[in-house]
Amino acid sequence: MPKSTDQLVQFLSQFTTFSDDEIQIIHEQSDIREYPKGTILLREGEQARNRFLVLQGCVRSYNINDGEEINTEFFIEHDLLMPVS
Q: Where are the domains of the chain?
A: 1-32, 36-85
At 52 the three-state DSSP class reads strand
Higher pLDDT, 85 or 68: 68
pLDDT at 57: 92
Q: Let me know if 41 is exposed, middle or buried by CB neighbors in 10 A (0-12, 13-18, 19+).
A: middle
Phi/psi of residue 35, nearest 5 degrees = -120, 135
Please state the length of the chain. Answer: 85
Confidence of residue 1 (pLDDT cuts 50, 70, 90): very low
Q: What is the pLDDT of residues 31-77, one digit of tens each?
A: 888 899 999 999 888 999 988 999 899 999 999 999 999 999 999 99
- Average pLDDT for 77-83: 90
Give the DSSP H or E segment for 58: strand 58-65
Query: Which of 43, 75, 39 shows the shortest CA–CA distance to 57?
Result: 75
Q: In the chain, count H helices and then E strands.
A: 2, 4
What's the chain's Rg over C-alpha atoms? 16
